[in-house]
Amino acid sequence: MTRVARRLAVSAVVALLCLVVAGLSTAGAAGLRLTGGTSPYDQSGPRCTAGPAVVTPTGTSTGGQYTQVRVTGLAGTCTTGRVIVSTSTGPSTSTVVLDGTGAIAGGAFTATAATPFTPPSSSAGKVFVSVDTWPVPATWTFAPAAAGSCVVLGPNSSGATCAVSFGPDTDGRADVYNIKATVTTTSAQPVQWQATFDFANLTSFPFVARYVGEYAGNWALQPLPAGFCSGSTRVVTYQGQPNRGTQHVSSGSPLTLDFVGSLTSPLGNNVVYSCP
C-alpha cells in the first residue's frame, strides 16, 4: 500500500469513529455505567426501573425508634436495592441513620439499620435509593404518631371532635420532666371526653420515664393492661369524674392534665404508673 493510500485509510477510520460517537442517542448514553474493579470500564446495560420510590419506616417501634425501612414503587426487573436515610443537622450537614440493602420482591424491599434510629419527619428526612447500582428518584415519608388522642363519648349529634395538645417541658432536668397536656373540643356545648396518652412517644415526651404522676388530679385513670412495664409503649387512658366537675369539656372550657415523669424517683401523688 502506498503512503497516500495508507493516509486515506487512516482518515476513513477516524471519520467513521466520529460518526459513531456523534450518533449515540441520549437513551443509549443513559445505558452506560461504570463497572468497578482494578480496571474500571464502561459497560452497557438497561435500567431495570425508573421509580419513583417511596421510603417509610416499618416494623414495630421501641421508644419511638425503628430498625427498618420499606422501599416501594420499584416495578421492573431489579433484584437488589440499597437505601440511605439521613436527617439534617444543620444548614449544610446531615447524619446518616440507615444504610442498608435488600432483595427486591414485588417491586419493594426492606433494609435494616445497624442500630435503632429515630425517623426524621417527612420534611427533615433525605433518602438515596439505587437498584442494581442504578440511582432512582425517591422520597422519604414519615409522620410521627401523636402522643395523645381524644374521643367524644356518649351521644354526639353535632359530630363534635376533641383533641390533645402538649406544652413544653417546664422542668428541664435530665431525669425529670413536667409537661402539661390540654384536652380541647370543637363543641360549644359540654361533651364527655376520653383521652389516651403514650408516655413512650418521644415526639411529646423527652424520654421514657420509669415513673409518671399527674399533679392536677380529679381524673379517672383506666386500669393498666398486664405486662404494661415490659411493653414497647406506655399507653394510659383518662376520663373526667362527674363528682369533680371534670367529666365534660367544651370549646370555652378546656381541661389540662399536668404530668411529671422521672427516671429515678417514684412519685407519690396521683400515680399514673410505676415501672421500677
- Residue 240's H or E segment, with its range, is strand 235-240
- What was the pLDDT predicted at 207? 93
Amino acid at 238: Y
Amino acid at 120: P
| Spatial separation of the C-alpha atoms in residues 205 and 200, rounded to whole Å | 7
Q: Which residues pair with 98 in a beta bridge?
A: 85
Question: Does residue 15 sit in helix, strand or coil?
Answer: helix
- What was the pLDDT predicted at 91? 61
- What was the pLDDT predicted at 84? 96
Please say whether the beta carbons of 162 and 193 come within 8 A.
Answer: yes
- What was the pLDDT predicted at 121? 83
- What was the pLDDT predicted at 247? 93
Please say whether the beta carbons of 182 and 167 come within 8 A.
Answer: yes
Which is nearest to 190 in space by CA: 247, 120, 122? 247
- What was the pLDDT predicted at 198? 93
- What was the pLDDT predicted at 2? 53
DSSP category for residue 156: -
User: According to the 3-state scheme, what is the secondary structure of 193-228?
Assistant: EEEEEECCCCCCCCCCCCEEEECCCCEEECCCCCCH
pTM beyond 0.75: the answer is no
Amino acid at 212: V
Question: Does residue 22 sit in helix, strand or coil?
Answer: helix
Which is nearest to 257 in space by CA: 203, 220, 207? 220
Half-sphere exposure of 104 (CA within 13 A, CB side): 23
- What was the pLDDT predicted at 259? 96
Question: Taking the chain (276 residues) in consecutive chunks of 10 residues, what is each chunk's mean pLDDT?
Answer: 46 39 36 37 58 89 81 90 86 85 94 91 90 93 85 86 94 93 94 94 91 92 91 90 91 95 90 93
Taking the mean position of all CA atoms in its chain, how far away is CA 128? 15
- What was the pLDDT predicted at 65? 79
Please say whether the beta carbons of 145 and 95 come within 8 A.
Answer: no
| Spatial separation of the C-alpha atoms in residues 262 and 212, rounded to whole Å | 6
| Spatial separation of the C-alpha atoms in residues 125 and 141, rounded to whole Å | 8
Residues 6+ apart with CB under 8 A from 119: 57, 66, 85, 97, 125, 142, 144
